[in-house]
């Protein structure tokens, strides 16, 4: 596409990794070439994404608990899994593009919020039967978390962020 023959830029398929921006551009080009932009509304893309998540779920539906690395799975099964994961990713990237959401920034921000909500030094997860139990949760009330989330989302100056005083002894068993 307009590149000089001597260009050293590798094709996307030849690279080891790809950015979300690259995927976004490829998806936009793919849809435009097929005149699918008219169908790519947020609702339609979300429904397609949910359908793909369903197809991904079918792969694991009757397998029970599967260990990491998928030992015992054949190459064909792993390839099929990769295809379904890719479908989910591509629809998610396209949906974020159509909605005007920078998915990279949103994901990083969400990780920061999760780090505040579940600080590494206060959260322990225990297994009891088939249920996960969270122990010593730092933000015990939703109100405190909402206050923190509000202050982060509105990017208040540090001096204007409401102070939430925490008594760490309250969170012991």
pLDDT of residue 125: 58
**With contact defined as beta carbons under 8 Å apart, do 126 and 138 qualify?**
no
pTM of the model: 0.64
**With contact defined as beta carbons under 8 Å apart, do 78 and 70 qualify?**
yes
**With contact defined as beta carbons under 8 Å apart, do 151 and 144 qualify?**
no
Bridge partners for 132 per DSSP: 127
pLDDT of residue 84: 98
- CA pseudo-torsion sign 8, 13, 15, 21: positive
| Cα–Cα distance for residue pair 64/3, rounded to 1 Å | 49
Q: From first to last of the 173 residues of the chain, give the pLDDT tens digit.
A: 344 444 455 565 566 899 999 999 999 999 999 999 999 999 999 999 999 999 999 999 999 999 999 999 999 999 999 999 999 999 999 999 999 999 999 999 999 998 888 877 665 655 555 555 554 444 444 444 444 444 455 554 544 545 444 444 444 44
pLDDT of residue 116: 87
List of domains in the chain: 16-64+71-101 (1.10.287.1080), 110-171 (no CATH)
Other Cβ atoms less than 10 A from the Cβ of 98: the count is 19
**With contact defined as beta carbons under 8 Å apart, do 96 and 103 qualify?**
yes
């Amino acid at each position: 596409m307009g590149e000089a023959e001597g260009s050293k830029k590798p094709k996307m398929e030849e690279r080891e990794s790809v950015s979300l921006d690259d995927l976004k551009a490829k998806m936009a080009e793919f849809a435009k070439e097929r005149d699918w932009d008219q169908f790519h509304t947020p609702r339609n893309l979300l429904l397609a994404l949910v359908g793909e998540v369903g197809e991904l779920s079918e792969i694991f539906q009757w397998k029970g608990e599967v260990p990491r690395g998928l030992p015992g799975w054949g190459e064909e099964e792993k390839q099929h899994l990769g295809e379904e994961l890719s479908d989910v990713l591509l629809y998610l990237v396209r949906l974020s593009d159509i909605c005007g959401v920078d998915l990279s920034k949103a994901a990083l921000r969400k990780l920061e919020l999760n780090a505040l909500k579940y600080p590494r030094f206060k959260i322990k997860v225990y297994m009891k039967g088939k249920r996960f139990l969270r122990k010593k949760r730092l933000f015990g009330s939703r109100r405190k978390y909402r206050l923190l989330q509000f202050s982060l989302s509105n990017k208040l100056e540090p001096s204007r962020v409401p102070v939430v005083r925490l008594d760490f002894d309250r969170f012991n068993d």
